Structure 1
Amino acid sequence: MRAGSLEHLGMPAEDEELYRCLLRLAEGTPPVLAEHLGMPVPQVEERLERLDAMELTSLADNGSIRPAPPAIAVQRLIGLRLRELQEELRRVAAEQRVVESLLAERDAGRPVPRDASERPAVERVEGTPNVRAVIDELTFFTREEGLTTQPHGALSAASIEASRPLDARILRRGITMRTLMRPAAVEDVPTLAYLQELSAMGAEIRISEKPLERMLVFDRRTALTPIDPRNPRLGALVIREAGLVAHLVSLFERMWSDSVTLAEAVAARPGPEGELSGIERRVLASMCRAEKDENGAREVGVSVRTYRKYVADLLQRLGAANRFQAALLARDHGWI
């Protein structure tokens, strides 16, 4: 394997040959690439599909295929290789029952059942360190989805640092992460920066104006809720009873449907006193020209329900009876 070869990063030699050809040409079509490489077009197309699956190519406006920049290509290959290694190590750990062996060692002599099937439907775990240990364990075994609510708004620096590696691990594994926060999270600079960091990694973050119930749900099979919502440090209840977990998931979905995306919440932050927020200005401009709410919502980039909520708020704020009157009053205010 020669120095500088992408085979070191897991790319087959024949795919690397095509990627390097694209780099030399800057762009090309399958027939052009086939001519340069001296191979049949179907073979080139097959290799291009593999490069596309690795996100190492893109389609230009003229229909030609362009290579991803080398630095980005290397980062994507590293990411793919890391995910493959993580899955392989996770598979080996599961097959060898490594975690179960360590848990049995930890629980030796304790009057608690070791078999997961014998665990209580509701288990009381006291103290923050013990709760974090449970969350670590549940996160490790999560395969599909994690649901979280944070009813207290801003996160402490300690909470962010404790959550960052766990959240990053979940997202790197391709697991769906949905998190609900209160508006105070958008106003706190460190919290907002962390949420935007998670969002960039693929997490779905929404902001709710309504009160939230604190919970964490793993694969819709296990849930954590506070022993005492007024004192989260007291500990948590680990819930494995299917009916109770389903009820919590249903509650989460209702809270989720009553929330807005993080981007919408950021755009809706109020401007200087007496002025509209950025999203309010866009809604106001849209409602003056869009014939249907669906068109206006699409133009602004929000759901129809959220769009109508902004329209209703603007009508009330302006004291307008209808949208035509709102447009006239908005001009008087200098808003449009």
Structure 2
Amino acid sequence: MSEREDHLYRALLRRESTRPPAEHPERPAAEHPDPESQDPDLRDPDLDRLVTLGLASRAANGVVRPVPPPRAVDALIDGRLRALREELEGEVTQRAVLESLFRERRAATPSPHAGTGSENNQMITHLYGIDAVREAIDELTFFARSEDLTTHPRGVMSPESITVSRPINMRLLRRGVRMRMILGAAVLQDEASLAYTRELVTHGAEIRVSHHPIERVIIVDRQAALTPIDPTLTAKGALLVREPGLVSTLITLYERMWQAADELPGEDTDLPSDIERKVLALLRTADKDETAARHLGVSIRTYRKHLATLMRRLGAANRVEAALIAHERGWLT
């Protein structure tokens, strides 16, 4: 925060502590003048900056109010962390750090399979062994910006697989990358795998369950894809595909599998999840989607996805109706 922003936020806090009670929280009682109209500080155009930073919210009538101090500090920390992450990732990309490190390792330990496949133009690269595949996944997801499409034909994930994939997937979701995942129906019978997938859903992932055979594939940003060299023995390695025509074909295959799959059932399909309850509560307190998403600690895309899902479940035509129906059902107190 700048000194000016700090001053304005503190002025808002002081104003809020002296604001008289009102029948409608969005506006002051008619018999009391709004302190904002009396204090030139609180009419400062820099108030818009406080709203952008997540330190204040603006009601429909234009009145700006401070968020509670814990939320304000949390918003500042999140904003700084996002900026720092973007700055560091930009430096890594600009300096080609990963490419340089990969060249060092290849020069020191040339692959015994060098020269096979189409490695010269990098359209199709053979990756041998599970370590090489995981390394490729790390690199692809590090640079992912918009979308990650994944399938798990077996459905059941080993504890080791969950341990490896959790930080990767959480990193993607924190950055607002849209994550879609299709799992084999066996996931419904495995407690650990089911708990992990539901954890991902609470952070914004979209997950479906297929009761039909599906192919193993990972597609990142619709520009690169990984498929097994041998579908019956995935530990053997994978093909890293960047050829646009082949990637497009794999995307079409993925979309067909997605349409044929079912939504991952919740722990109790009749009740909202914890994050859905928070979304419903924010319909009454947050004036903007950006503010609500920041409060939840998720991307705005994730927040809107949860909201759209809730509106479909409630059969609501708009947000106000969704809040009313949720209250009638006892989802909101």
TM bucket normalised to smaller: 0.5 to 0.7
Alignment counterpart, residue 145 of structure 2, candidates 143, 153, 158: 143
The aligned counterpart of 1:69 is 68
Question: What secondary structure sits across from 1:39 in the alignment?
Answer: helix
Question: What secondary structure sits across from 1:238 in the alignment?
Answer: strand
Q: Indicate whether 1:51 and 2:54 are aligned.
A: no
Q: How does 1:95-114 map to 2 (within 5 A)?
A: 95-108=94-107, 110=110
Higher relative contact order (CA 8 A, sep 6+): 2
CA distance 1:238–1:94, shift in 2 (3 Å): same
Q: How does 1:169-208 map to 2 (within 5 A)?
A: 169-208=171-210
The aligned counterpart of 1:246 is 248
Q: Once the two structures are aligned, what percentage of the paired residues are identical?
A: 42
Question: What secondary structure sits across from 1:107 in the alignment?
Answer: helix
Match for 1:218: what amino acid?
A: V
Task: State the alpha-carbon separation in 2 of the partners of residues 165 and 159 from structure 1.
Answer: 11
Task: State the alpha-carbon separation in 2 of the partners of residues 196 and 22 from structure 1.
Answer: 40
The aligned counterpart of 2:38 is 35
| 1:134-166 deviation digits (Å, cap 9, x = unpaired) | 111111222222111111112221111101111
In structure 1, list runs of 5 or more residues that go unmatched.
Answer: 1-10, 270-276, 280-296, 303-336
Alignment counterpart, residue 11 of structure 2, candidates 10, 21, 34: 21
8 Å contact 2:150–2:180 — kept in the other structure?
yes
Moved more, 83-92 or 17-26: 17-26
Match for 1:13: what amino acid?
A: E
The aligned counterpart of 2:87 is 88
8 Å contact 2:12–2:42 — kept in the other structure?
no
Question: What secondary structure sits across from 1:153 in the alignment?
Answer: coil
| 1:193-243 deviation digits (Å, cap 9, x = unpaired) | 322332232322233333321110111111001122222222111111111
When the two chains are superposed, the root-mean-square deviation of aligned CA atoms in Å is 3.3
Give the superposition deviation at 1:66: 4.0
Give the superposition deviation at 1:298: 6.1
The aligned counterpart of 2:266 is 266
Question: What secondary structure sits across from 1:148 in the alignment?
Answer: strand
Q: How many residues align?
A: 260
Task: State the alpha-carbon separation in 1 of the partners of residues 121 and 37 from structure 2.
Answer: 61
CA distance 1:69–1:103, shift in 2 (3 Å): same
Task: State the alpha-carbon separation in 1 of the partners of residues 200 and 8 from structure 2.
Answer: 34
Task: State the alpha-carbon separation in 2 of the partners of residues 29 and 192 from structure 1.
Answer: 46
TM score, norm. by length of structure 1:
0.66
8 Å contact 2:153–2:214 — kept in the other structure?
yes
Task: State the alpha-carbon separation in 1 of the partners of residues 80 and 42 from structure 2.
Answer: 29
8 Å contact 1:227–1:235 — kept in the other structure?
yes
Give the superposition deviation at 1:132: 0.6
Alignment counterpart, residue 160 of structure 1, candidates 144, 159, 162: 162
Moved more, 59-68 or 156-165: 59-68
8 Å contact 1:122–1:240 — kept in the other structure?
yes
Task: State the alpha-carbon separation in 2 of the partners of residues 52 and 207 from structure 1.
Answer: 40
Q: Indicate whether 1:300 and 2:313 are aligned.
A: yes
CA distance 1:300–1:201, shift in 2 (3 Å): closer
Match for 2:56: what amino acid?
A: T
In structure 2, list runs of 5 or more residues that go unmatched.
Answer: 20-25, 29-33, 272-309, 316-333
Give the superposition deviation at 1:117: 9.0
Give the superposition deviation at 1:61: 8.8
Give the superposition deviation at 1:178: 1.7
Alignment counterpart, residue 216 of structure 1, candidates 208, 215, 218: 218
Moved more, 125-134 or 22-31: 22-31
